């Protein structure tokens, strides 16, 4: 694996053709915004480009791809965007093994898999891409600005998270200057909930448990509860933020049943609790205030293991 700079990454993309762009599974606004913007930019400079993701695109992100004419061809080069680990490609993992370039902002937790990687510490992968596209000589059209703004807004929690820097705001400002529809995007993504989401959230808040003097909140999402509320993947988006929203909680844990005895864990923390070491204990990773892992066992076992790790992290507070 070779580390490359933004300039080298731009040069590679400029030289290549027939490029496949891959997003991570359970796609969010950042990985999809990156993919849509990159494909759009590649097409605009005369390349053939296509996009794939192991999971379906949530309906609220359809606008990113609506006007994009995606080609179908045998790819000559594969690029991943916002993918920290090839396992996050889901069923497309074999394609990840053939990737030549990984563009990612999970600095410190990115596990190399592509031949080359350009990894930086940035609020969103879309923020890196804004610079990359300029370097490639692609015009940031209003549609590309929308896509990049979507990723920036998504990964900053609508400019609320601790990863928001002056640079992130300047990047957002530059995208708005290029025509990004900030108000519409933010209203659709952060200020609109389906009725199913409201049902799900009310079930979550009534079942939430607090531990360690209220410093740790745990939410369990068994498959039966998800089925009962009729929640889809896109309704579940954002549920992992709820546990941490309770006043006094420094460590919010969401335990979602994925398969038989398999649980997807989302950790959301507040200063000074670092979520990464907790996730790492269980073979996961992520960012300081947002990390995740997968655990196996019964729900009670999984909860006990998590509580012991989280208890250690919040005990001194
Ligand atoms: Mn991201």
List 266's β-bridge partners, or say none.
Answer: 254, 292
Cα-to-centroid distance, 16 and ligand 1 (Å):
24
Ordered by start, the domain boundaries in the chain are: 2-190, 195-314
Cα-to-centroid distance, 114 and ligand 1 (Å):
17
What does the alpha-carbon distance between residue 232 and residue 245 come to, in Å, rounded to a whole number? Answer: 22
Cα-to-centroid distance, 61 and ligand 1 (Å):
15
When the pLDDT of each residue in the chain is averaged and rounded to a whole number, the result is 96
Cα-to-centroid distance, 161 and ligand 1 (Å):
13
Cα-to-centroid distance, 238 and ligand 1 (Å):
14
Contact 97, 103 (CB under 8 A): no
Query: Averaged over 182-186, what is the pLDDT?
Result: 98
Cα-to-centroid distance, 282 and ligand 1 (Å):
21
CB neighbour class for 203 (10 Å; exposed up to 12, middle 13-18, buried from 19): middle
Cα-to-centroid distance, 31 and ligand 1 (Å):
6
Cα-to-centroid distance, 29 and ligand 1 (Å):
8
Per-residue confidence at 161, pLDDT binned at 50, 70, 90?
Answer: confident
Cα-to-centroid distance, 211 and ligand 1 (Å):
30
Cα-to-centroid distance, 105 and ligand 1 (Å):
7
Question: In this structure, which CATH number among 3.10.310.30, 3.50.50.60, 3.40.47.10, 3.30.230.10 belongs to the domain 195-314?
Answer: 3.10.310.30
List 21's β-bridge partners, or say none.
Answer: 51, 79
Cα-to-centroid distance, 157 and ligand 1 (Å):
11
Question: In percent, how much of the chain has pLDDT > 90?
Answer: 92
Q: What is the DSSP letter of 57?
A: P
Query: Averaged over 220-233, what is the pLDDT?
Result: 92
- For 2-190, CATH number? 3.90.1640.10
Spell out a b/e string for 30-48, using b for 16 or more CB atoms within 10 Å of the CB, else e. bbbbbbbbbbbbbbbeebb
Could you tell me the CA-to-CA distances from 302 to 54, 218, 245, 253 in Å, in that order?
Answer: 27, 12, 22, 11
Cα-to-centroid distance, 89 and ligand 1 (Å):
14
* Helix ranges, the chain (H): 6-15, 29-44, 93-96, 125-136, 142-155, 166-177, 182-190, 195-207, 223-229, 233-236, 275-281, 299-314
pLDDT computed for residue 316 by the predictor? 86
Spell out a b/e string for 157-170, using b for 16 or more CB atoms within 10 Å of the CB, else e. bebebebbeeebee
CATH topology identical between 2-190 and 195-314 = no
Cα-to-centroid distance, 300 and ligand 1 (Å):
31
pLDDT computed for residue 185 by the predictor? 98
pLDDT in tens, 227-270: 999 998 878 878 999 999 999 999 999 999 999 999 999 999 99
Cα-to-centroid distance, 5 and ligand 1 (Å):
19
Q: Check: pTM over 0.85? Answer yes or no.
A: no
Per-residue confidence at 81, pLDDT binned at 50, 70, 90?
Answer: very high
């Amino acid at each position: 694996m070779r580390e490359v700079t933004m300039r080298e990454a731009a040069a590679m993309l400029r030289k290549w053709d027939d490029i496949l762009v891959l997003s991570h599974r359970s796609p969010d606004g950042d990985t999809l915004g990156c993919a849509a913007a990159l494909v759009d930019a590649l097409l605009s400079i005369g390349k053939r480009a296509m996009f794939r993701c192991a999971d379906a695109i949530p309906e609220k992100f359809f606008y990113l791809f609506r006007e994009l004419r995606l080609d179908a061809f045998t790819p000559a080069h594969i690029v991943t965007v916002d993918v920290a680990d090839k396992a996050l490609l889901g069923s497309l993992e074999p394609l990840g093994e053939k990737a030549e370039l990984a563009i990612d902002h999970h600095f410190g937790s990115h596990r190399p898999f592509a031949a080359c990687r350009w990894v930086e510490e940035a609020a969103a992968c879309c923020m890196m891409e804004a610079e990359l596209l300029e370097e490639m000589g692609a015009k940031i059209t209003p549609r590309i600005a929308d896509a990049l703004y979507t990723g920036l807004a998504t990964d900053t929690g609508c400019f609320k998270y601790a990863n928001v820097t002056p640079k992130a705001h300047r990047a957002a400002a530059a995208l708005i200057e290029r025509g990004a529809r900030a108000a519409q995007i933010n209203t659709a993504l952060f200020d609109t909930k389906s009725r199913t989401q409201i049902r799900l959230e009310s079930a979550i808040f009534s079942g939430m448990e607090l531990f360690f003097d209220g410093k740790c909140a745990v939410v369990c999402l068994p498959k039966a509860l998800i089925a009962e509320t009729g929640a889809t993947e896109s309704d579940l988006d954002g549920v992992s933020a709820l546990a941490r929203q309770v006043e006094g909680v420094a460590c919010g844990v969401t335990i979602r049943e994925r398969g038989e005895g398999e649980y997807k864990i989302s950790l959301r923390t507040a200063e000074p609790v670092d979520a990464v070491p907790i996730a790492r204990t269980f073979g996961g990773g992520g960012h300081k205030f947002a990390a995740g892992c997968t655990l196996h066992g019964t729900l009670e076992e999984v909860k006990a293991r998590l509580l012991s790790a989280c208890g250690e992290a919040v005990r001194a507070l």
